[in-house]
Amino acid sequence: MSLFTLLIFVVMFAITGLLLIFVTAHVWKIFLNLKSVRQLVPRLQTPGEHALLKAIFLIPLLLIGTYLIIHYLLWPTQFFPILGSPVILGNTIGLIISYSALHVIRIKDKAEKFKSHKIVISLIAYLLILYLCNLIIIIATAVVWMNTAPQSMQVHPFSQGLILYLLFLLHFIFVYIAMLFNRNWKVILVLVYTFMISQAYYGIHAETVGKNNAFNSSTNL
């Protein structure tokens, strides 16, 4: 592997880490700062209880992720070509609409006439952040899966699903930790994430190349 190729993948994983850690934390912050949410769940503003409540709020992400991975393994989805994939196109449109809707809710939430609709506003905002965070985690999982675990495609479907789900859990944990810390710690998280994934990619690639060289050597003999 050339240094240039490795650098390209490192940059790709760094961008994935930025999206995973900063964007998910940003949409969660929008939800957390809604006046309707603060009035309905004031304990979310208490630092000591914030982490536990946040974990409870994010539990649906695990359930949705579990369902999507099982669905993908049982009924594989066509993602390529990227521009022609209805799944990618639909979720791209959904990402734009959901993010725009979240900002509209943030603006409307400040208006007095919507004060009596705080439960509806909070519920809609919660569903939007679940969709956005889950989509970002799935994207990050797919990027890492397709680039660092090519050999897993040849193993038993159960092992393949287990590896994929562990990757999903890893990204979920990074998202949860990112939501607990300030900007400086988020930068460190991105660096740690990029280093971990890049090391995994390099190690798997080196192992694959070594096996191929060994096989070619034995064939030549």
Between 89 and 188, the more confident residue is: 188
Amino acid occupying residue 185: W
Q: Is residue 76 part of a domain?
A: yes
How many domains would you assign to the chain?
1
Q: Which residues of 80-90 are buried (b: 16+ CB within 10 A; e: fewer)?
A: eeeeeeeebee
Amino acid occupying residue 164: L
Q: Is residue 217 part of a domain?
A: no
- 121: tokens are 């506003």
Q: Is residue 15 part of a domain?
A: yes
The pTM assigned to this predicted structure is: 0.81
In the predicted model, is pLDDT for residue 91 greater than 80? no
Q: Is residue 221 part of a domain?
A: no
Q: Is residue 219 part of a domain?
A: no
Residue-wise pLDDT for 167-219, tens only, equals 889 999 999 888 888 778 889 999 999 998 888 777 766 665 555 555 455 55
Stretch 102-121: mean pLDDT: 78
Stretch 32-43: mean pLDDT: 80
Residue-wise pLDDT for 117-156, tens only, equals 778 888 898 999 999 988 888 888 888 887 766 544 455 6
| Residues spanned by the domain of 125 | 3-210
Q: Is residue 32 part of a domain?
A: yes
Q: Is residue 216 part of a domain?
A: no
Q: Is residue 220 part of a domain?
A: no
Amino acid occupying residue 184: N
CA–CA gap between residue 17 and residue 21 (Å, rounded): 6
Amino acid occupying residue 109: D
